[in-house]
Amino acid sequence: MQRIAVVVPVYNHDREIERVVRALIGFALPVILVDDGSSNACASTLARIASAHPSHVTLVRHEVNRGKGAAVLKGLGAAQAAGFTHAVQIDADGQHSVDDVPRLIALSRTHPNAMITGQPQFDESVPAVRLYLRYLTHVMVSVNTLTMRIRDSMCGFRVYPIARVLDIAQRIDLGQRMDFDIEVLVRLDWAGVPIVLLPTRVQYPEGGVSHFQLVRDNARITRMHTRLFFGMLVRAPRLIARAFVRRAATA
């Protein structure tokens, strides 16, 4: 039986996080906040939120900032320890449409063995450079999975089958920062986990805080794509055979 919690990695997003948590509680969902070494001001906000909603909100912390991927993995570990089988991941900066959480969960209940991920529908608030970089990543993910089915691998709005993710994390040093969202999706695909996409509205709030470091994170992502490319070469015969089986099944 599915048991679903929400994992929210937080690093200095005290401006939007209370609104996000309030909306999630409105869906009667348990929320795990992961304070990834935030400032004192944000840490105080998170502690106040958790104290105000003790039956709905759990707060776990990193003493120092370790990155989005590390925060998500800590949240997934806490969710599994509490008996949850699946976890919704949503960013704390308010860019994701919380109203789509029930749609994500409905898809997950229909496809309990799958990874459900958002396929962003951007408005005019998205920076042009972000769209360009997403396109380049989409090309590389298509190469590294030998499939065009994964339309977006950078969206941090998704539902994880927790056990499958943590099993991979125990065997492989997954990216700990902004490279995590991409790498874990590719490795889940390699492991045979179905990837199901849900179109969802994404906007960049005015005055919102982004922790994406253009040079450092792009360097990390480039190194990750290089590692995955060589991993794909090893797996290519199996991935090609899988593609033929899927094509035959839909013919």
CATH of domain 4-250: 3.90.550.10
Q: Is 57 helix (H, G, I), strand (E, B) or coil?
A: strand
Q: How confident is the model at residue 215 (pLDDT cuts 50, 70, 90)?
A: low
40's enclosing H/E stretch is: helix 40-52
pLDDT in tens, 114-155: 999 998 887 666 666 666 677 888 899 999 999 888 888 888
Q: If we measure between CA atoms, which residue out of 116, 88, 86, 84 comes closest to residue 23?
A: 88
pLDDT in tens, 165-197: 999 999 998 988 888 999 999 999 999 999 999
Q: If we measure between CA atoms, which residue out of 62, 90, 56 comes closest to residue 74?
A: 62
Tokens of 113: 């063995």
Continuous H helices in 146-213: 162-171, 180-190
Q: How far apart are CA 161 and CA 168, in angstroms?
A: 11
**Portion of the chain with pLDDT greater than 70, in percent:** 90
Q: Is 156 helix (H, G, I), strand (E, B) or coil?
A: coil
Domain limits, the chain = 4-250
Give yes or no for residue 80 having a pLDDT over 70: yes
pTM for the structure as a whole: 0.89
CB under 8 Å to 71, separation ≥6 — which residues? Answer: 9, 10, 11, 34, 36, 62
Q: If we measure between CA atoms, which residue out of 133, 131, 109, 111 comes closest to residue 121?
A: 131
If phi over 0 gives left and psi between -120 and 50 gives alpha, with beta otherwise, what is residue 102?
alpha
β-strand 86-89 against 115-122: which pairing, if any? Answer: unpaired
